[in-house]
Every structure is written in C-alpha cells, then in structure tokens.
Chains A and B, each alone.
Chain A
Amino acid sequence: MAALFTRDTQAIFWNNNKSAIQRMLDYDYTISRETPSVAVIVAPTSSNKFEKFFYGPDEIMVPMVRTTAEAAAMFPKADVLLNFASFRTAYDVTMEAIAIEGQFKTVMVTAEGIPERLARGMNQAARDAGVTVIGPATVGGIAPGAFKIANVGGTIENIVNSKLHRAGSCGLVTRSGGLFNELSNIIAINADGIAEGVAIGGDRFVGSVFIDNLLRMESNPDVKYMILLGEVGGTEEYKVIEAVKNGQIKKPIIAWCIGTIAKHFSTGVQFGHAGASANADAETAGAKNIAMAEAGIYVPASFNDLPVTIKEVVAKLTAEGVITEIEEPELKVVPKVRKANEFICTISDDTGEEATYAGYPISAVATP
C-alpha cells in the first residue's frame, strides 16, 4: 500500500490507444524496466492477437484480447487497469474489472463527462472492493523511475527535463492534468523531482480524492514532503486540514488552491473544471488557502510565489537531512528514427532475378 506503483507494476490497457501505449513503452525503455508496463491490451472489436510496438530500437508484440476477463486470466499479476473507454462505456468497463476478484488494485479512468450518478456508483463500488480509482477525467499519475500512466509528462524530452525519469522526494497531487505537468516542471527546477504523483481528475465526482493520495504518500518512505494543488469549489481540502491537525499527516505539505479570482465576480463566470464552483464561502479558494495556512500547511502568497515556497521547504528539509542527494541514473535514449522489421511493398517488380522496389533490389531496402 505504501507506494502506488513499483518497477514491476504491469497494466492492462483497455482500448488500443497506440500512441499512449507507445509512450509508456518508450518510458519503460528509457528507465530500463525489466518488463513492459503494458502487459496486454483489451480491444473488444479487434480480432488481432497482438499489436506491435517499439521497445527502444526493437519491436515487441503486446498481446491483445477482447475482454478484460481474458486479459486478467492471461496476466494475473497485472493489477492496474488503464481504462481508456469513452464516457459512454467507461462505467461498464470499470464495474466489470472491479468484479474480477483479487485482480486489480488500481483502475485509472480517463473519460471526461461520465454521468454523475454512474461515477458515484462506480467510485463507491471500487471503495467497497478495496480498489483505488484514479479519475475520471484525468491524465493519470506516475511513479518516476517505475511506472508511468499513458500520456502523463508529455514527450520523453519533457519527462527527462522535468526529472520524471527517476524518483525524487515530492509527493504531488493535483486536480488538473495540464497543471500536473507544469508542477512537475516547477518541482524539477526548484527541487529534486517527485517520488509519486497523481492528477485526481476534473469531474465533480472522482474516485480517489486529495486525502486518499496524501495518506498513502504519508506512509511511503520515498515521499519526504507533499505538494497539493487544489481548486475553488468542494470541501476536499478540509479533510487534508483535518488530517494535518490530528497528526495523521506529519510530513510537510505545500499547498495552493487556484481560482482566487472567483471572489471578484459574483455570478455567472465558471472558472475552471466542472468540479470548480464555490457554493459556500468555505469553498472559495481564498478561504481554503487561509484555512490551510492556519493548520500549518505551507501556503505561498500567490501561485506565482509557489517556487519560492518550494525552495524554502526543500532547503529546510535538506538541512535537516531528510532530503539527501539523488544519484542520477543512466538513461537509455529512444532512437529518433525507428524502422519496423516488416513492411508491405505494393510497388514491386518481380520480373528479374530479384524483385525490385522502385528500381532497388528488395534485399537492399528491407534490411534493417
């Protein structure tokens, strides 16, 4: 339970989202994982038995099946479901996965706009089954140096620039996926990167909330401090405040709620996500920032000062010996140009000794 993902974590990827899967495998190669992070793909309408991907310069075949049950039977240790179904089917896919007893620890749901009543039912069913739901409406999360969900972190260059290729000291929780990426960058510039990060999702009803993730990070020894980026609307930040006050969370937290602008406009302007609308004074970003600061959470004067606060807290923790120097690991570089081992040629001339492709002998073109 301490860490969300390890280097051995393998996922079942629901939907054959080739670019996202390729990004995961590129990440695996970069950090020299022993096994690919995607064990098997579930593609309900495909009759193919596998899909080809690159693993570094080479090609590998990732098995493909039609149902989650088949995938689970094939890979009983793959305990993460990456649910990339649309908002119409994401609920059914999650419920089916939860029903497979003992298989999944984590289900990530990317779809935005799942009917609220279905999302609530799904989240409750997962809680009852002891399954952590990340999302809906999220890019997911990452355990740097171990496991990365789909598109988190963007391009491989950005991942390395944002130090997402190896574990740092920070536990990061945000609502927004776009700002997750930005925060990773801010933490890389002003500190030593993150140990674990989750974007909980922008819909009103999400499975795991701030407090669930922060409590897990509290018990993860690799996490030395946490950064929480909240939002106007809802009362989830108060659960964190409560946990800090009653001593459940002892590690330092740096936090900021975005949406302070909303106080200047009485009605009508929706600033941010579906979940982001203050129904009471306590739900405003300003009130939450004040309440968090009063509870002893590090709250900057504005979002623009966040880097300063991070530097201060990290300097303090470094001086105390809590944060120590991180050894930079060797990185493998994914080649910029890759060629598939097979190709289909439709323009050929087989009248001579050897078939030719646009005048060139096939053996000259097809050699890898």
Chain B
Amino acid sequence: MAQRAIREYDGKAIFSRHWEQYFSGFHYGFKSVLVTSGKELLDKAEEHGFEWLKQEALVAKPDMLFGKRGKNDLVLFKTNKPGDVTLAEAAAWIDEKMSKTTTLLSGQHGTLSHFIIEPFTPHTQEQEYYISATTVGEDDVLYMSAEGGMEVEEGWDEKVNEVTIPINMSDADMEHAVKANIPTDIQAKDKEAFTSFAIQFFKFYRDLNFAYLEINPIVMLDNNEMAILDMVARLDDTAGFMMVDEWAENANFPTAFGMEDQSPEEKAVAEADSKSGASLKLTILNPLGHVWTMVAGGGASVVYADTIADLSEANGGSVSDLANYGEYSGGPTTGETKFYADTLIDLMTRHKDAKGRNKIMIIGGAIANFTDVAKTFTGIIQSFEENVDKMKEHNVQIYVRRGGPNYEKGLKDIKEAADRLGLYIEVYGPETHVTDIVRMALEK
C-alpha cells in the first residue's frame, strides 16, 4: 500500500472524466486508445467514435510506466516527416516492437506489451509548457515552467518555478501563491490562461488523491484547446475506497516494465497474498544462493536480510549468498504457512550449491505480539514431513529463532519433528538475539 504508478492512458482518462468540473473554460479532446497488439488497433479504428484513427496522422508509444521514451527511440511520430504516420504503419510498428526484447538506456529490459495511440498534434516549441505536482516532506509542491519537453530536465533549477503548498493552506492563499510564482517567460498571451490552468491543475491533483502528476509537455493551442502530450501519474492507492467513482476503472496498477518476468513461485505467493487477510511476500534475489529465509514480520525480515548481507561478506561470502527476501505475518493459516514453506523448500532444493556448501534455512522472527507461534509452526512441520527427502539430499540445515504467544510449544514441536525426520536443526527462543542465528549459521 503506497503510491503507485498508473498508465498514461488511465491518467488521461481520469483527466477527461473530470475535465468539465476542474478545467471549465479549457477544452481537451481525450483522443487516446490503449492497445496490446496491432490488430487490436486496427479493430478499434472500426468502432464508432474512433474514426479519427483512420483520418488523422498518429503518434504511438509504449505505455508501460517508464519515461524517456523519446530518448529510447520508442515514439513513432514520423515515417518520412513528422506527422505522417498512418493507422497501418502504427499497427505494423506495434507488432514489430512486440516481437522482440527491448532494452532501455537504463538497462531495464523486457517485452513491450501496451501501447498508447493518439493523434499527432502540430504545434510550436513556444506553445509547450511544463507543469507537475507532488508531495515533498509534509507539503505539496507545484512545479511550473515556460519550457516543456526534454529541455526542462536540463537546467531544472533555472527553468522551473516551485510553489510550496502546506496541507492546511486555504484555496485563496494557494491561488495567491501560484499567481505570484508564474514563470515570467510564459508568453504574454498565454499568461492568464496558464495561471488559471495551474490553479485548477493543483486542485485536480489534490482532490483526486494523486501522489504525483506531471504533464510534460502541456501544449496550449488556440481557443483554449489543451493537448496533453505526455503524462506521468501516481495515485495514493490507500485513498481507493474514497475514489471509487472518481478513479473508476482507471486505477490499474501494472507491474513496472522489466519487472513482469516474475517467477511462477513469486506470482503464486503474490496471488495467495491477495486472497488472504495475512501477509505473504516473496522476492527471489538469487535462485542459486545458499541462504534462504522464512521470516515472520516486515521489520524482522529486513533485519535478517541486512544481517545476512553483512555477515556473509564478513565470512568470505557475498550478498549473492542471500537467495530470497520475504515475510509471512498477520496470522496466516496453517495451510498458508505450509504453502509458503513448500515454495521455499522447493526453490532451495533445485540446484546444488556451486561451492558444495549446505543449504541454510533461516526460520526467523521477532517476538510476536499476538500470533500463535505453535500454530504457524504446524504448517512448517507439515512441509518438512512432505519434503524431507529433498531437504536431506541438499543438506538443508535449519536455524529457528522465534518468540511470542505459545512459543515454547512451537519451538519444541519443530525441534521434535526435525529430529524425528533426521533433519539438522538448531532452535532458539527470545533469550537469543533475534539475528544471532544468522551468525551461527554463517560461521559454521
């Protein structure tokens, strides 16, 4: 739960839905479509209301939460000269881009899958402006510049005016502050309209619970016609319950480009998490690592990961020894705990360690406030019973540390089960420092 990015298409759809309410006096056409193939684009052009796809010159670009698409040469706006891209050419371009792996200048790579297509908007550099808003510290900040496009990012400090707006500032004071800070080099003919737009933009950003909203560039055409050429938006997803009608179907939070190649195991854990009241998280950092963690609690999972990285380096290893990061907490059922343990044991017993080391399974956790430790350990014990042969084959050594309600029984049960199954195990309670099992395991 936090600030999450939405697609440019969805951001524009939210703009469009509330345009009359927030931006009366300006006009915005919202001619955008989002497609996942060239064929879908061609089909879309046959639908009522989308005739413009056949009539106008088009611009196509990926809509997958990454920026600098121009610099990455991923904006199709010309075949021979700017503004001559036809529907067929756009569809072919999309299919071509989707057919291979794309690597960005940042190094991220993956396969493109979502594209936004819009009409080509002829305009001059003078008509391009920049506007954005976000939260800095405890305050909102509105950024405005007379220069839009890529230019604004070079020379940010000289070109951008900032207005800090505290959470409890009145509308009158906010409007006054914005007016007083309009960039001086905005064209005289646009100044009044830009000021009005900036104030309304801020209210829109605020009322619609955006965490970040940037239009770069916003183009002011004749007759108060606005063109949103490029946009980045993040929503505060915790406000979702208040924004059901306002965000409607546009509050989709896709996975960032290059991150969608999650493993099936990570996906399965994420799916179990979404269906459960408890919290189950798994990120595989290095599938060949020999230290695997099954840690209860968000804070504890961080200190275990920290300690493994610190101590493996100190013991002649490296951070790549750490295979995964994740946590289970919030009172998972026995079944959920078993599933989580099964997943981890399956992953840790796929490859032999290259240096012939044992696999280490850290079953850690702080002192629980109210989770019944014995109950959660039942699921882990069931998983041991099922996977004992694999675990022995890979010399899995288990280190347990936990406290909280019913921990004595939990520790006793897991020790007895491991001993009965012939698995190597060391078990510690609250008298042992929470991360000391990491030291014991790595020094061995």
Contacts and interface: CB of A to CB of B under 8 A. Distances in A.
A and B co-occur in one complex: yes
A117 B435 contact: no
Interface stretch (A216-224, A261-269, A323-331, A338-346): A261-269
Contact of A113 (B137, B238, B431): B238
Interface stretch (A173-181, A243-251, A356-364): A173-181
Contacts of A116: 3, 135, 209, 211, 236, 238-239
Interface string B208-238: 0101000000000000000000000000101
A348 interface: no
Interface string B358-388: 0000000011111000000000000000000
B68 interface: no
B300 A179 contact: yes
Interface string A176-191: 1111011001100100
A124 B299 contact: no
Contacts of A53: none
Contacts of B303: 179, 258, 303
Nearest to B437: A304
Contacts of A175: 299
A324 to B, nearest CB: 25
Interface in B19-42: none
Interface in B94-134: none
A121 interface: yes
B319 interface: yes
Contacts of B366: 178-179, 181-182
Contacts of A197: none
Interface stretch (A2-10, A35-43, A99-107, A153-161): A153-161
Among A114, A205, A261, max chain B CB count under 10 A is at A261
A279 to B, nearest CB: 10
B311 A304 contact: yes
Given A181-B366, A261-B319, A269-B283, 11 more contacts: A112-B1, A120-B138, A124-B166, A128-B168, A231-B302, A258-B306, A261-B302, A270-B2, A271-B305, A273-B298, A303-B303
Which residue among A88, A117, A271, A273 has the maximum number of chain B CB atoms within 10 Å of its CB?
A117
A121 B369 contact: no
Contacts of B370: 19, 151, 154-155
Contacts of B308: 261
B259 interface: yes
Interface in B270-324: 283, 285, 297-303, 305-311, 319, 322
A117 B319 CA distance: 38
Contact of A181 (B2, B138, B367, B435): B367
A260 B298 contact: no
Contact of A178 (B236, B256, B300): B300
B404 interface: yes
A125 interface: yes
27 contacts: A115-B236, A115-B238, A117-B236, A121-B168, A128-B168, A154-B404, A155-B370, A155-B405, A158-B404, A176-B298, A178-B300, A182-B403, A202-B298, A258-B303, A259-B306, A261-B305, A261-B306, A261-B309, A264-B319, A271-B325, A274-B1, A274-B2, A277-B2, A302-B307, A302-B310, A304-B439, A306-B433
Nearest to B318: A264
Pick from B168, B306, B368, B404 the residue with the most CB of A within 10 Å.
B306
Contacts of B325: 261, 269, 271
B167 interface: yes
A179 B299 contact: yes
Nearest to B314: A302
B150 interface: no
A264 B309 contact: yes
Contacts of B307: 302-304
A109 to B, nearest CB: 13
A205 B239 CA distance: 14
A161 B431 CA distance: 10
A121 B439 CA distance: 45
B206 interface: yes
Contacts of A153: 369
B259 A139 contact: no
Contacts of B369: 139, 151-154, 177-178, 181
A162 B369 CA distance: 12
Interface of A: 19, 87-88, 112-118, 120-121, 123-125, 128, 139, 151-155, 158, 161-162, 174-179, 181-182, 185-186, 189, 202, 204-205, 231-232, 235, 258-261, 264-265, 268-274, 276-277, 285, 301-304, 306-307
B433 A307 contact: yes
B26 to A, nearest CB: 25
Nearest to B240: A115
Nearest to A176: B299
Contacts of A303: 303, 306-307, 310, 435
Contact of B138 (A124, A186, A304): A124
Interface string B183-218: 000000000000000000000001001010000000
A161 B430 contact: yes
A205 B302 contact: no
B242 interface: yes
Nearest to B365: A178
A261 B430 CA distance: 24
A185 B259 contact: no
Contact of B311 (A177, A185, A302): A302
A363 B110 CA distance: 77
Contacts of B438: 304
B236 A260 contact: no
Contacts of B283: 269
A272 B325 CA distance: 10
Given A88-B241, A115-B236, A204-B2, A158 B306 contact: no
